[in-house]
């Protein structure tokens, strides 16, 4: 693999967590391997590995873009990643308020529901289901 792929895999693990990446790698098949390599090099090795802005800022941008485009399947994953990027719940809400104004209230409303469910699941994970 290339240096960019290696850098991308390291960034991907840092942001999404080793367990998530290990599951994705274990599920990879010959069919989707080219796609997985592409996102590891392009998204993680190039874009997310740039030092121009922080992982916190990239996290907020990504959450806003996923919500604005209705890419809800990926949204929960990136909400979970805030535990590793330093983006707070307040940061997430600020990003989603921007979505409401610039991309539409229904998109933001749906994303807020996903964020609430994901944050609740994250809390349950850390407390063993006890609140």
pTM: 0.91
HSE value, Cβ hemisphere, 13 Å, CA-based, for 52: 5
Residue 82 sits at the vertex; the CA angle it makes with 78 and 83, to the nearest 5 degrees, is: 125
- Calculate the alpha carbon distances from 98 to 17, 38, 44, 109 in Å: 27, 29, 25, 12
Phi and psi, residue 112, nearest 5°: -65, -40
- Domains of the chain in sequence order: 1-52 (no CATH), 53-131 (1.20.1290.10)
Q: What pLDDT, in 10s, does the model give residues 109-120?
A: 999 999 999 999
Residue range 10-31: mean pLDDT, rounded: 96
d(CA 5, CA 9): 6
- Does 1 score more than 90 pLDDT? no
């Amino acid at each position: 693999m290339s240096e960019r792929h290696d850098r991308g895999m390291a960034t991907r693990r840092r942001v999404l967590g080793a367990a998530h990446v290990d599951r994705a790698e274990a599920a990879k098949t010959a069919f989707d391997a080219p796609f997985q390599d592409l996102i590891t090099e392009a998204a993680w090795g190039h874009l997310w590995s740039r030092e121009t802005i922080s992982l916190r800022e990239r996290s907020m941008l990504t959450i806003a873009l996923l919500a604005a485009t209705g890419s809800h399947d990926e949204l929960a994953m990136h909400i979970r990643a805030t535990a590793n990027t330093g983006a707070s719940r307040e940061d997430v809400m600020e990003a989603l308020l921007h979505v409401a104004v610039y991309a539409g209230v229904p998109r933001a409303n749906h994303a807020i529901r996903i964020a609430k469910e994901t944050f609740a699941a994250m809390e349950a994970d850390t407390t063993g289901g006890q609140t």
